[in-house]
Structure 1
Amino acid sequence: MTDWLASDVAVVTGGASGNGREISCTLAEYGADVVVADLRMEPREGGQPTTELIESEYGQRAEFVECDVTDSEDLQRTFDAAETLGGVSILVNNAGITENRDFLDETEADFDRIIDINVKAPFFASQLAAERMIDADHDGRIVNIASISGIAGRGNGVVYSASKGALRLMTYALSASLGPRGIRVNDVSPGVIETSMTRNDLEMFDSGAAEEYATTTPIGRVGTPNDVANAVLYLVSPLAGFVNGETLVVDGGATNSWGGIAGED
């Protein structure tokens, strides 16, 4: 296996389950030590905690930090944990929440919660990471996990679409701000990915919505966490050394093909 990331320390928010778990393990597979920041250590889908899996399967160092990404002290503790491993050089802002709600039923509390987690938290996590990357003179990389709902609006998730659109534009602005300081910033925008969130919280598979989505993709299926993790791996690897301020859409072609829809990551 290529040790593309052998000198890197990655922080993955929401790294205990779903896409974040797969991202954490994939980065470890390619040589990174990983700080998994999440509200709970146990993966929602079951199995070994992600940090234990990283250590046993890939032989990399891993630390778990119980972290509410909207809490500045928790974020500080997360990056302090990265310092014990050598200092953050990769940040994946993966933690996020979604919704399936009619616009007329949205409340101010709904709005604030989604924006706080999906926009405000990545902003300040990126700021803390960038400060440390610059101080340590690291070749820094930040990847935000956005969504195709931030490209094509979704009527039953207006606040969610607004938050992911904001995150995508934040990515571009950060790339302009941090690129001259040696930090590349990109985003991955998934379509429907089969995770506990889409299966259990949104009930997309029981309702048939996921199957309907699959018919809109030229590839004819929904995505997997591995699809998202491989996209992140590319963006933080040496292969993407001249890629900055870009959106990598991982949706099987649904958004840009005839009959494409705005799905849910």
Structure 2
Amino acid sequence: MLDGKTAVVTGGSSGIGRAIAQKYAAEGAAVVIGDQKEEPRRAELPTVETIEKEGGEATFVSTDVTEYQDVVDLVEVADREYGSVDIMVNNAGILQQTLLHETSSEQWEELMDINVTGVFHGSKAAIQKMLEQDSGGNIVNISSISGSIGRANAPAYCTSKGAVTMMTRQNAIDYGPKGIRVNAVGPGGTLTSMVYETMSEERREYLEMQTPLRRLAEPDEIAEVATFLASDMASYVNGHVLFADGGFSIS
């Protein structure tokens, strides 16, 4: 499905980003992973090693998405190692759960720097390279249903994902004429290490009961959606935020 493509995935060491990187590699793409740490949050092999064991191609680049030059360097590595940048997945993000009056300015700024400015940096660096190549490309942002329908006790997170959703739609308008599609996945509750670290068991059980499918997503299920959006199967999909939430947003 992605044979001959080069994909850059930020936050690809763990969680949804790791699952996307592995899926893209399995579908034939060379994958360049940008993350602050190569080691995953849980006791697994680094993503690159896992991909290579399965016969795929992958490279890790230490990257802080809040630093624009880091992201430019990440994109340059992809171009230098594999000859192009065809897909950019802006996945790096953090979750924060505090009421607005309890959120410090430092907490707010950290979350916005990673969740919003990081997507801006990734999109800008990738789009500039795609325009130079003059062969189009795909941006896949990882937003959240929380950016559209809200979420209790997470004002900064919801605001950041709302910004990602709007950045997706706006960039789709500007760069569609250049052959660059820009879409996003809007996951619901997903069983990543970040969720296990920040969400109580009671909260997870509550979300499961509020979801028509009565369970949270596995990262691989979100990766399937991200693969569709990056592939030619979605060749006429642009500016769309595809919810993968088990029906939570309609329940």
Shorter-chain TM-score category? over 0.9
Instruction: Kindly state the Cα deviation for residue 199 of structure 1 after the two structures are TM-superposed.
Output: 0.4
Aligned match of 1:25: 22
Matched, 1:223 2:227: no
Q: Tell me how far apart the structure 2 counterparts of residues 133 and 73 of structure 1 sit (CA, whole Å).
A: 17
Q: 1:238 aligns with which of 229, 232, 235?
A: 232
* Letter of the 1:48 counterpart: L
Letter of the 2:67 counterpart: D
CA distances 1:135-155 after superposition (whole Å, capped 9, x unpaired): 112330001101111011223
Q: Note if contact 2:116-2:164 (Cα within 8 Å) is conserved in structure 1.
A: yes
Residue aligning to 2:69: 73
Letter in 1 for 2:17: G
What's the CA shift for 1:41?
Answer: 0.5
Cα shift readout 1:202-236 (whole Å, capped 9, x = no counterpart): 133x3x11111111111111111011100000101
Contact preservation (8 Å) 2:96, 2:157: yes
- Contact map agreement 1:97 1:114 (CA 8 A) in 2: yes
Measured after TM superposition, the shift of residue 112 of structure 1 is 1.0
User: Offset of 1:241 from its aligned partner?
Assistant: 0.4
Whether contact under 8 Å (2:147, 2:162) holds in the other structure is yes
Correspondence for 1:149: 146
Shift of 1:60: 2.3
- Does the 8 Å CA contact 1:18/1:45 hold for their aligned counterparts? no
Aligned to 2:3: 6
Matched length: 250
Once the two structures are TM-superposed, the CA of residue 133 in structure 1 deviates from its matched residue by 0.9
After TM superposition, the structure 1 = structure 2 runs for residues 119-198 of structure 1, keeping only pairs within 5 Å, are 119-198=116-195
Counterpart of 1:64, as a letter, is F
Q: State the secondary structure of the residue aligned to 1:255.
A: helix
C-alpha offsets along residues 78-119 of structure 1, whole Å, 9 cap, x if unaligned? 011101211211000000011111211111111111111111
- Written as runs of structure 1 = structure 2, the 5 A alignment for 1:43-62 is 43-57=40-54, 59-62=55-58
Q: Does 1:214 align with 2:211?
A: no
**What is the distance in 2 between the residues matched to 1:72 and 1:235?**
25
TM-score after normalising by structure 2: 0.97
Is 1:252 the counterpart of 2:246? The answer is: yes
Q: Structure 2: how far apart are the matches of 1:125 and 1:197? A: 21
Greater Cα shift, 111-120 or 24-33: 111-120
Q: Given the alignment of the two structures, is residue 99 of structure 1 paired with residue 96 of structure 2, yes or no? A: yes
Does residue 64 of the first structure (1) align with residue 60 of the second (2)?
Answer: yes
Aligned CA RMSD, in angstroms, stands at 1.0
Extract unaligned runs of 5+ from structure 2: none
State the SS of the aligned residue for 2:8. Answer: strand
Give the distance between the partners of 2:137 and 2:169, measured in 1 at CA.
15
TM-score for both structures, normalised by structure 1: 0.92
Judging by fraction of residues, say which structure has more helix. Answer: 2
The more displaced of 166-175 and 110-119 is 110-119
Structure 1 runs of 4+ with >4 Å offset:
none
Other structure's SS at 2:224 match? helix
Report how far residue 186 of structure 1 moved: 0.4
SS in 1 for 2:249: coil
Contact 2:136–2:178 (CA under 8 A) maintained in structure 1: no
Matched residue, 1:260? none
